[in-house]
Amino acid sequence: MRWIILLPALQLLLTSINALTIRVPNKVSVIQETVSVLVPLRNEAHNVFALIESLKNQRSLSNVEYIFLDDNSEDESFELLIQSTSGLANFHVIKGLELPSGWIGKTWALQQLLEASSGEIIVSIDADVRIQSDAISRSITLLNASALDFISPYPRQIAKTLGERLIQPLLQWSWMSTLILTLAERTSFSSMAVANGQFFIVRRRALKAANEFRAVSSAVLDDVYLARQLISTGSRGVVVNGGDIAECRMYSSWREIEAGYGKSLHYAFGSKLATLFVVAFLFITGIAPLVLALMGSIWGWIGFLLSVLSRMVSAIKSRANIFDAIFHPVSMALLIYLIFYSYLMRGEITWKGRQV
């Protein structure tokens, strides 16, 4: 049974390496390049005021414009945007066009926003993300200092309900435990791309070379696919630790978690065979060690401990609750459930009032 510790040990090693080497946007400088901050919104009335407050306090940006697109919201998002940006000279609100065939809502909104913008550096932010007053400056400072074409500052994931606490920390842990980021940012292999569209920064010239958001027009996992497209067209970039400068609460209930992961997980692994491989990997590394441990295997206990330590290292780096790592096997079981749920519910899930 000694073999059961091999993969958890590798995960702990990779997580530890990334925790020590991941880039962090910790320096501020006055940004001289023109910057366009793009924010797509659909049915986000509950986020508008806090979002605007977060953005209007940004500093150390010499020339910045903020453009918001209301994507045919069914609530008061547009009216609240107009109200909350009144008197702010560099804040602009536009009404989105109807969704054309072959596009999903977010990528169509981002393409329209891009065409309405003029900045050399494009910053896209989701409506539920809150950033510190120097977050954009620090991120662009890191982009320039690293000589990269794009970066994705990974926000701290706010998790309050039990379902959130069991699932949301897996977002960062999943890539921290499976690849080395310092290699990923240098690679020309698009399969190693990692990104989070909640907060994404890219040079306009790199985005143009990648055919802008047209390249990912129908991609539900638009952030990862955009990063892959950027890499395949010669750009270099990587995910960075944005836990100190940004935070996001993606979901607030298990029902939202099911819908959110349900719409995307069946796209995540490329094929059904690859999905079965991932499910087996999750079971072997996250559930089997505890099963063997409860059957009396010391190697099972060691494997379980290694998995928990890997989660704890990730939690410390991402400012998550380290004690939730103890329930790692439960998290793995729920993630496997969400993967199968995503396949079973294809074409039946609605998101922001649209079927995906």
pLDDT of 313 over the 80 cut:
yes
pLDDT tens profile 317-348: 999 999 999 999 999 999 999 999 998 888 77
Together in a domain, 200 and 238:
yes
Look-up of token digits 């109200």: 83
pLDDT of 10 over the 80 cut:
yes
The pLDDT value recorded for residue 187 is: 79
Three-state secondary-structure class, residue 114: helix
Q: How confident is the model at residue 246 (pLDDT cuts 50, 70, 90)?
A: very high
The pLDDT value recorded for residue 270 is: 80
Residue where a domain terminates, one of 226, 251, 276: 251
Together in a domain, 211 and 86:
yes
Tell me how far apart the alpha carbons of residues 56 and 51 are, in angstroms, rounded to a whole number: 9
The pLDDT value recorded for residue 267 is: 86
Together in a domain, 15 and 140:
no
pLDDT tens profile 62-80: 999 999 999 999 999 999 9
The pLDDT value recorded for residue 67 is: 98
Tokens of 343: 């396949």
Together in a domain, 138 and 269:
no
8 A C-beta contact, residue 153 and residue 24:
no
**Average pLDDT of span 228-252:** 95
134: DSSP letter: T
pLDDT tens profile 183-216: 888 877 788 888 999 999 999 999 999 999 999 9
pLDDT tens profile 123-166: 999 999 999 999 999 999 999 999 999 999 999 999 999 999 99
The pLDDT value recorded for residue 189 is: 79
What CATH number did the domain enclosing 137 receive? Answer: 3.90.550.10
pLDDT of 182 over the 80 cut:
yes
% residues pLDDT > 90 (the chain):
88
Together in a domain, 45 and 131:
yes
**Average pLDDT of span 220-244:** 94
Q: Which residues contact 282 (CB under 8 A, 6 or more apart)?
A: 332, 335, 336
The pLDDT value recorded for residue 1 is: 75
pLDDT of 33 over the 90 cut:
yes
Together in a domain, 65 and 192:
yes
The pLDDT value recorded for residue 88 is: 94
Q: How confident is the model at residue 174 (pLDDT cuts 50, 70, 90)?
A: very high
Together in a domain, 281 and 292:
yes
> Measuring CA to CA, which residue among 48, 43, 207 is closest to residue 123?
207
The pLDDT value recorded for residue 194 is: 87
**Average pLDDT of span 293-321:** 96
Tell me how far apart the alpha carbons of residues 190 and 220 are, in angstroms, rounded to a whole number: 17
Together in a domain, 135 and 187:
yes
Together in a domain, 26 and 15:
no
Pairing of strands 129-131, 354-355: unpaired
C-alpha R_g of the chain: 20
Mean pLDDT of the chain: 94
pLDDT tens profile 249-276: 999 999 999 999 998 888 888 888 999 9
Tell me how far apart the alpha carbons of residues 286 and 186 are, in angstroms, rounded to a whole number: 30
More confident residue, 330 or 351: 330
> Measuring CA to CA, which residue among 314, 315, 245, 312 is closest to residue 24?
245
pLDDT tens profile 13-30: 999 999 999 999 999 999
The pLDDT value recorded for residue 269 is: 85
Together in a domain, 245 and 265:
no
Residue where a domain terminates, one of 217, 251, 285: 251
Together in a domain, 237 and 273:
no
Tell me how far apart the alpha carbons of residues 316 and 323 are, in angstroms, rounded to a whole number: 10
The pLDDT value recorded for residue 2 is: 85
Together in a domain, 48 and 85:
yes
State how many domains the chain has. 2
8 A C-beta contact, residue 35 and residue 61:
yes
More confident residue, 44 or 264: 44
pLDDT of 356 over the 90 cut:
no
Domain that holds residue 143: 22-251
